[in-house]
Amino acid sequence: MVSTGGTGPHVGVLALQGDVREHARLLEGLGAHVSSVRRPGELEGLDALVLPGGESTVIDRLARLTGLQQPLREAIAGGLPVLGTCAGLILLAERLQDGGPGQETLGGLDVTVRRNAFGRQSESFETDLVVPALEGPPVRAAFIRAPLVDELGPAARPLAALPDGRVVAARQGRVLGLAFHPESTGETRFHELFLELVRQR
């Protein structure tokens, strides 16, 4: 993916692994200027960052190999707005349960996240979520080897939950973490909310 010429906020998509193109297409459709982030220098000049779904252990390992881990941590800690979906939520978590051997996170979201909380790929599912922060009908959410927010710290608040009360999305200021894939079901409202938060920065 190359940089696009949208006139809206400049949003980088971490492009080490995962569903990068799906996020890029959605953001471009909403008017954002989108570019890939594979090296530390590509974080410069961004208004916001998306951490896509994929394999969180692979993204973690590649972030360290490319020298991106610490610059990402510093950018997030410095207030860069971030949207993380599925593996992206895992990366944003301050605390991780059931992580892979030696797996580390970037932090930025005061939550405890459990990896692969819903089981294997064959146990993936879609469901409708009522999200009070979003206007309109319930959100159609795809859970693919999804994580779960096991615990919210005092700095974070829930954004969406399953009917049984289990939290699947959280927000801390301009950092949003979703356990599901809105970009896979054609749902644009989370990205619209994110871009509005970016514009308010």
Give catalytic residue positions.
86, 181, 183
Tokens of 116: 């692969």
d(CA 103, CA 189) in angstroms, rounded, equals 31
d(CA 88, CA 178) in angstroms, rounded, equals 8
d(CA 114, CA 90) in angstroms, rounded, equals 8
Tokens of 54: 């994929």
> Nearest CA to 94 among 48, 84, 1?
84
d(CA 167, CA 70) in angstroms, rounded, equals 28
* End-to-end Cα spacing for the chain: 26
